[in-house]
Structure 1
């Protein structure tokens, strides 16, 4: 892939805390999903945290750091992060307690994201009774299924908790022609007019020309009134 016409997305962050009311311990497995022409050039495709236990408060501190670099040629099929959450029962057997996914923010900067996790519901009452007796939750065959909408049309889910993730994103777009919001912010940092849809549409210059022409017209009208008096 030629670096002159590629997008480079660098992300580093922290899987910070989680809250699952029905669980006292938690382990998070972090996956990266890049499709289309997107490729991961730096970082592991899967990371696993240690089992963390809840204290006196309801939240569980995970503190799993990560860093990735993705490269692609267009913003389509933007990379995503997938979370698989596990917990141990009284017998020491671990099982999945939630799936979650989040798209990497397209706006450079710091982001605090909350990822709500869910489990698929059983398709029948009999399977529900069996899962309760065996103390096993329903699971997806593909743990990365939450990264896309394919195969989830008739899937019913139940929210089990959430995970807070801090993200720091930087985007290098070289000569691709794509512009991101940070570029507009830097370009208009010294402008007295706040960024608006006019600037995003690329007609800021026309707006300034029209404003100057209106000022020139008003000054001519004032001079004519003075001469007439």
Structure 2
């Protein structure tokens, strides 16, 4: 939602670890331009579906979705309206997330005025930088809107690698008690049939 802007579009991209690869789907793209309704609703509805399939043998570098919002300013310049990022949910099922967006700020009021006149607002050379921590502590930003996302997640063969992704609410009480009793045993006293990856989901 952008209360102060209209006629916006989003660019999206995925950031993944070195052990990951995209098997199907686009790794980046652009949505259509969205307009506000006639009832002065501040929401911009994109309804833009994203389909992507990832493959990996390690959870390190779990995929992140990076969003960048753009639109025209008063002088007709295409300027950035917000950056945001979120990790793709790790559990299967339907998830609704709200991603807050932010924009870089000028280093001074003079630079801010100059950027407004010239139509050159501060922006990142590579939008994927928002998915990393290095160097971000030196960047001045301000909040500007948010994007609501709906994920439909399907996972496959994670249990064969020793990983569980269901929430704790989905664990049967008896299984939960059994798992708890394993944690109370001395180190090296686990039964032979207990997987060494049993509690990886607590990462």
* Paired position in structure 2 for 1:35: 17
So what's the TM-score if we normalise by structure 1?
0.72
Once residues 122 and 182 of structure 1 are traced to their aligned partners in structure 2, the CA distance between those partners, rounded to angstroms, is 43
- Does residue 203 (structure 1) correspond to residue 188 (structure 2)? The answer is no
Larger Rg: 1
Between 135-144 and 156-165, the greater mean CA deviation after superposition? 135-144
Number of equivalences: 181
- In structure 2, the CA distance between the partners of 1:194 and 1:126, relative to structure 1 (3 Å rule), is farther
SS in 2 for 1:131: helix
Corresponding residue for 2:92? 108
Return closer, same or farther for 1:206/1:46 CA change in 2, 3 Å cut-off: closer
| Structure 1 or 2: more strand by fraction | 1
CA offset digits 1:151-193 (Å, max 9, x no partner): 21211210111111100112221521111125982x62xxxx4
2:30 corresponds in structure 1 to 48
So what's the TM-score if we normalise by structure 2? 0.80
Structure 2 segments unaligned to the other structure (5+ residues): 185-203
Matched, 1:170 2:154: yes
Structure 2 residue aligned with 1:133:
117
- The answer as to whether partners of 1:39 and 1:70 remain within 8 angstroms in 2 is yes
1:26 corresponding residue in structure 2: 8
CA deviations 1:38-58 (Å, max 9, x no partner) are: 111111011211111112211
Q: Counterpart of 2:125 in 1: which secondary structure?
A: coil
Taking the TM superposition and a 5 Å limit, the aligned residue runs for 1:187-202 are 188=172, 193=173, 198=177, 202=179
SS at match of 2:117: helix
- Residue 206 (structure 1) shift: 9.2
Change (3 A) 1:105 1:194: farther
Partner SS, residue 61 of structure 1 = coil
User: Could you say if the C-alpha distance between residues 147 and 205 of structure 1 is closer, same or farther in structure 2, counting changes exceeding 3 Å?
Assistant: closer
Deviation digits for residues 80-139 of structure 1 (CA, Å, limit 9, x no counterpart): 000010012344432111101010111211110111110011122321121122243210
- Matched-pair contact (CA < 8 Å) for 2:17–2:60: no
**For residue 165 of structure 2, what is the aligned residue in structure 1?**
180
> Paired residue for 1:81, among 43, 60, 65?
65
Partner Cα distance (1:140, 1:82) in 2: 13
Structure 1 residues 90 and 127: alpha-carbon distance in aligned structure 2, compared to 1, 3 A threshold: closer
Kept in 2: contact 1:108–1:182 (CA 8 A) = no
SS at match of 1:54: coil
